Amino acid sequence: MPPTERLYYHDSFLYSFDASVLECAERGGRPAVLLDRTAFYPTSGGQVHDTGTLVLESEQEVPVVEVAEEDDGRIWHFVSSPAPSGQKVRGRVDASRRRDHMQQHSGQHVLSAAFIHLFDFPTASFHMGAESCTIDLAINDLTAKSLDVKQIIQAERLANEIITEDRWVKISFVSLDEAQRLGVRKLPPKQTGDLRLIDIADFDLTACGGTHVRSTGQIGSILVRKTENVKQGVRVEFVCGLRAVSTARQDYATLTETAALLSTHIRELPQQVGKVIQEAKGAGKVQHKLLEEIAELRAVEMLAKATGTPRVIVSVFPERDAVFIKLLAQKLTAAAADVVALLASGAGQAAMVFAQSPGQKHNMGQLMKDTMAKLNGRGGGTADMAQGGLPAGAVDLAQIEKLLKEIAAGL
């Protein structure tokens, strides 16, 4: 079977074409159609596939949901229902999806070239996602280079200048020798026959099989987003064209919503959020101080009532959390030399704290481990102080209190 004639190679703006169905087969459990010629772009070279429809002779419209290429150059169109072999069909490519892909892919060529022109950072790979795109720049410890925010802004600026200059973008087919003589930026890993070159006037020349704009103005704009260090270098996330506008729109909406919560202007957000964080930290400290004072008072009160030798104190606090009962246990055992405290809390994740005054003979860590094993919880600690957490949900504090009293009776 000969390779599929790729109509998009010569015209990226061809959205409608006539073709014949050579074969319709099940591929991976899905019906797929082989045409003699196609304007549908198959996933390759970092660019994702087109979608659209095939209109059959009966006028029935069959959606094309995915397009993939074989090593031998055949292109399979995955369809929602089979189309009989020998049929003449009209293919219709989803134009807005194609235009978006052209903006992202041509934008990538411009951005990659900008990183070369400014800093000699080559692009190792390109990925087009549903929301954003990335390039991996080959920068690492071995190249003794790095990428900073200033450089990113410079590259973004240069790329957008090339867009506003509306430079022409041309497709040509040349031999490998000719391509090397012309000084092509990037060659494909495998070369068979002539190379397809994408030429951006006096700025970039790359071998590429993708669909591209006619002139850089059609890219619209490039917005660089985050960067992150990856194994092969630095990953740069970006969006082009209408995606850049919708991304900026979304960012603005998020900022506006956040600013409204703080009754401030979006430009004041970093200072305002910083202030809120500082205030929260301050309030946390005050709260902890108050909690310590309450624990101190409760300890005095409980010790006054406690009897026995040693004084074993059992108490359950449904409204308090683990932090409080730990504080209380510390206060109780520090205030007197003859105290054993068995405490539980119900707020947040239910918890237990077992503690004894230093010098008492029990092993609180072991006691906690044994108790948690019975309750499917986890915990442990030292001989004098141990803590355990009970599994979320289905904690009956009355049962816990009963259990603590049993433990106390056995000491």
Q: How far is the CB of 37 from Zn ion (least distance, A)?
A: 22
CA distance 168 to 202: 9
Decide whether 44 or 272 has the Cβ nearer to Zn ion: 44
Q: What are φ and ψ of residue 286, in 5° steps? A: -60, -45
Q: 46 or 388: whose CB is closer to Zn ion?
A: 46
Q: How far is the CB of 208 from Zn ion (least distance, A)?
A: 3
Min separation Cβ 159 and Zn ion, Å: 15
By beta-carbon proximity to Zn ion, the closer residue of 220 and 365 is 220
Question: Quick one: which of 40, 45, 35, 37 has its CA closest to 12?
Answer: 40
Distance (Å, rounded) from C-alpha 308 to C-alpha 411?
Answer: 12
CB count in 10 Å sphere of residue 384: 19
CB of 72 to Zn ion, least distance (A): 22
Q: Residue 293's CB: how many other CB atoms inside 10 A?
A: 11
- Shortest Å, Cβ 112 to Zn ion: 9
- 322-335 vs 269-305: helix crossing angle, rounded to 10: 40
Identify each DSSP E strand in 156-254 by its residue range.
169-174, 195-200, 204-207, 222-230, 233-240
Q: What are phi and psi of 362, to 5 degrees?
A: -85, 170
CB of residue 129 to Zn ion, shortest distance in Å: 16
Token pair listed for 289? 């101080």
Helices (H) and strands (E) in the chain, counts: 8, 20
By CB under 5 A, the count of residues binding Zn ion is 2
Residue nearest to Zn ion as judged by C-beta position:
208
Distance in angstroms between the alpha carbons of the first and the last residue of the chain: 86
Q: Report in angstroms how near the CB of residue 186 gets to Zn ion at its nearest.
A: 8
Nearer to Zn ion, 126 or 354 (CB): 126
**210 near Zn ion, rule: CB under 5 A:** yes
Specify the stretch interacting with Zn ion by CB under 5 A; choose among 210-218, 358-366, 369-377, 384-392: 210-218
Minimum separation from the CB atom of position 188 to Zn ion (A): 10
Q: Which is nearer to Zn ion, 107 or 210 (CB)?
A: 210
Which of these ranges, 6-14, 157-165, 209-217, 239-247, lies near Zn ion under the rule CB under 5 A? 209-217
Residue 77: strand pairing partners = 33, 67
Interface with Zn ion by CB under 5 A: which range of 21-29, 145-153, 203-211, 284-292?
203-211
Six token digits for residue 399: 């049962």
Q: Which is nearer to Zn ion, 210 or 346 (CB)?
A: 210
Q: 42 or 210, CB closer to Zn ion? A: 210
Strand, coil or helix: 281: helix
Binding segment toward Zn ion, per CB under 5 A, in 201-209, 238-246, 361-369, 381-389: 201-209
Nearer to Zn ion, 42 or 346 (CB): 42
Is residue 208 part of the contact set for Zn ion (CB under 5 A)? yes
Distance CA 209, CA 171 (A): 10
Binding site for Zn ion (CB under 5 A): 208, 210
